[in-house]
Amino acid sequence: MQIRSALISVYSKDGLEPIIRRLHELGVQLYSTGGTQSYIQKLGIPVTSVESLTGYPSILDGRVKTLHPAVFGGLLARREAAHLAQLEEYKIPELDCVIVDLYPFEETVATSNDPAEIIEKIDIGGVSLIRAAAKNWKDVVVVGSKEEYKMFLDLLHEQAGEFSALERRELARRAFKVTSNYDIAIFNWFNEGTADISFKHSIHRSDILRYGENPHQNGVFFGDFEKIFDKLGGKAISYNNLVDIDAAVLLMREFQVGKPCFAILKHTNACGVARRHTLLEAWQAALACDPTSAFGGIFITNSTVDLQTAEDINKLFYEVLIAPDFEPSALELLRKKEQRILLKIKSFEVPKRSFRSLLNGVVEQDTDLKTETEADLRTVTERKLTAKEVGELIFAVKCVKHLKSNAIALVKERQLIGMGCGQPSRVDALRQAIAKAKSFGFDLKGAVMASDAFFPFPDCVEIAHEAGITAVIQPGGSMRDQESIDACNKFGMAMAMTGIRHFRH
C-alpha cells in the first residue's frame, strides 16, 4: 500500500523533522494536533489541523483532541466498498498512517511524586490512535514510538512511501508492544502499596493470599485457582503455600498413573516420596523417608484418601493435603483440624510455559515436562542394568528432577531414602543425601542414585560405592564422563546416561 495521508501526534519531537520532510516530498497529506501541528508549521510544511476534521477544538485542557469518528473512522475503515462508501457519506478522509509518541508516563513517575502531574501523563488519545491503526494494519501503517522512527524513515527513503503487508504487520506488532508496556507501567503505579485494598474488592477472594513470602509482605495470585482445585477446608492460602503447592503438583504429575504414591514436600523440595500397593503403605513409607522434615509440610497423593490413611495423617501437623478425592469419612475427620488446607485436585496438567520475575522483568521458558522412560536410558558401563534397577532409576530421576540444584536422590524399593539439594557442589549434595539416609536408619546397600546434572569428576561414584550404592543415572555430557564410567566399571556398578539435564534453580 502507498501512504497518501498521515496523522502525526507526538510528545517528543526528537527525530521527527526528517520524517515530516520526507512525507512532504512524497506528497503525503499531513494532519496534526496542538504542539505537533505548530512544530510542522514552523518547518514551513503545510499541515491540516485535526480540529478542521472533527469540527471541535481541543477541549478539557487537551485531554480530548483526536477522540472523534472523523479521525477513527479514517483509521479503522477497511479499504473495501462498504466502508469506503460510509467514509464518503460522512466526508471522512482515509488516514493511511499514524505516527505517535506517547506522554512520558514512566519518566514522570521516576521524577515526580505529584499524583496530579502523573495522572496527566496517562495518554488516552495516543494509545487509542496506536491501537486503532495497529488493528487495521492491513490498510494502515502505524509508528507507535520514536524507537521506530529510524525504521520508518529508512523505508520511506527506500520505497517512496510504499509499505508491504509484512512491514505493516511488523510495525503493528511493535505498536501493540508499546501499548502493552505502557498499560503495565500505569497498572504498576496504581498498584503500588494498594494490593491489600483495591484487589480485595475487585477479584475473587481466593486470589488474595494470606500474606506474601513473609507476614509483613502482601501477596496476590493472578490465576484461576479454582480451575485446578476445589478447596475443601482450611485457612487462607499464603504465598509460600502456593509455591509449595505448585512444586507438589509438578512432582506428583510424574507419578499420577499407577500404584498409590505419596509425596511430602518442604520448601518446594521433596523430602519423602514412596509408591506402594496401598495408600496407607505409601504414606507411611513417604513419612519414614524424613519424619523430621515432614512436620508442617505439604502432602500430596495420586489416590483417593481413605479413612485409615486419614487417621494416620491426622496425627501429624501439616500445612496442605492434596488428593484427587477424599472418602466422605476421611474428609469429615480431616476437616476437624480447621486450619489445615485440604485441596481436591482436578487435574495434574500444568502449563507448557512458565514465568519468573527477574531483575526488572520477567523470563519465560518451556516448562520442564520431560519425563524419562526406559527408552531414554543408555547403559554406558560393562555391567548392564537389571530390570529392577531400571525401574528404580526411573523413579529416582523423577524425584531428583524436583529437587533444587545441585541435587542427588537416593532410592531403594521405590522410596526416596536420601536426598541432597541446593548444594554448591555435587559432592556436598551426595554426602548430604547419604547422611540423611543413615540418620533415619536406611541401609544403602543395593540403593540407586540419580543426579540432576553430570559428574565432572569420579568422586561421586567413589563415594556412592563406599556407601553401598550399585547403580547410577545421570545426564552425562562432561568432558570427563569416561572417568566416572571407569570408576563404575572398577567397582562393578552400573551407570545409565539420559542426555537430559534437570537443573532447578
Side-chain-side CA neighbours of residue 424 (13 Å): 0
Q: Is the pLDDT of residue 193 over 80?
A: no
- Determine the average pLDDT of the residues in 339-356: 91
CA distance 231 to 247: 18
Q: Work out the number of other CB atoms within 10 angstroms of the CB of residue 259.
A: 15
Separation in Å, CA 84 to CA 3, 87, 88, 100, 279: 16, 5, 6, 24, 70
Q: Which amino acid is at 52?
A: S
Domains of the chain: 5-191 (3.40.50.1380), 203-345 (3.40.140.20), 374-497 (3.40.140.20)
Residue written as grid cell 540444584: 405
3-state class (DSSP) for residue 62: coil
CA distance 475 to 368: 15
Report CA torsion sign: 155, 158, 160, 165.
negative
Q: Do 283 and 251 contact (CB within 8 A), yes or no?
A: no
Separation in Å, CA 292 to CA 126, 145, 392, 422, 485: 60, 58, 24, 18, 36
Separation in Å, CA 25 to CA 15, 158, 168, 249: 17, 13, 21, 63
- Determine the average pLDDT of the residues in 12-20: 91
- Torsion angle of the four alpha carbons 340, 341, 344, 347, in this order, in degrees rounded to the nearest 10: -140
Q: pLDDT tens for residues 22-44?
A: 999 999 999 998 889 999 999 99
Average pLDDT for the chain: 90
Q: Which amino acid is at 387?
A: A
Query: Percent of the chain at pLDDT above 90?
Result: 65
Q: Is the pLDDT of residue 481 over 50?
A: yes
Q: Do 8 and 146 contact (CB within 8 A), yes or no?
A: no
Least confident residue range of 111-115, 122-126, 192-196, 342-346: 192-196
Nearest alpha carbon to residue 213 among 233, 235, 238, 180 = 238
322 alpha-carbon distance from chain centroid: 23
pLDDT of residue 200: 39
CA distance 125 to 121: 12
pLDDT band at residue 57 using 50, 70 and 90 as cut-offs: confident
CA distance 432 to 298: 22
Residue written as grid cell 475443601: 232
Q: What secondary structure letter does DSSP report for 23?
A: H
130-144 as b/e: b if 16+ CB within 10 A:
bbbbbebbebbbbbb
Q: pLDDT tens for residues 384-417?
A: 999 999 999 999 999 999 999 999 999 999 999 9
Nearest alpha carbon to residue 168 among 107, 224, 96 = 96
| Cell numbers representing residue 326 in the block | 477424599
Contacts of 197 (CB under 8 A, 6+ apart): none
Helix (H) or strand (E) holding 473: strand 471-474
Least confident residue range of 14-18, 180-184, 432-436: 180-184
The DSSP bridge partners found for residue 472 are: 449, 495
- Positions annotated as catalytic residues are 135, 267
pLDDT of residue 192: 66
| Cell numbers representing residue 112 in the block | 515526580
Q: pLDDT tens for residues 130-187?
A: 999 999 999 999 999 988 999 999 999 998 888 999 999 999 999 988 888 888 888 8
Query: Percent of the chain at pLDDT above 70?
Result: 97
- What SS3 string covers 328-382? HHHHHHHCCCCCCEEEEECCCCCCCEEEEEECCEEEEEECCCCCCCHHHCEECCC
Q: pLDDT tens for residues 238-292?
A: 899 999 999 999 999 999 999 999 999 999 999 999 999 999 999 999 999 999 9
| Cell numbers representing residue 388 in the block | 529392577
Q: Is the pLDDT of residue 196 over 80?
A: no
Q: Do 124 and 63 contact (CB within 8 A), yes or no?
A: yes
Contacts of 327 (CB under 8 A, 6+ apart): 304, 305, 306, 307, 310
42-62 as b/e: b if 16+ CB within 10 A:
eeeeebbbbbebbeeebeeee
Separation in Å, CA 398 to CA 164, 315, 376: 50, 28, 13
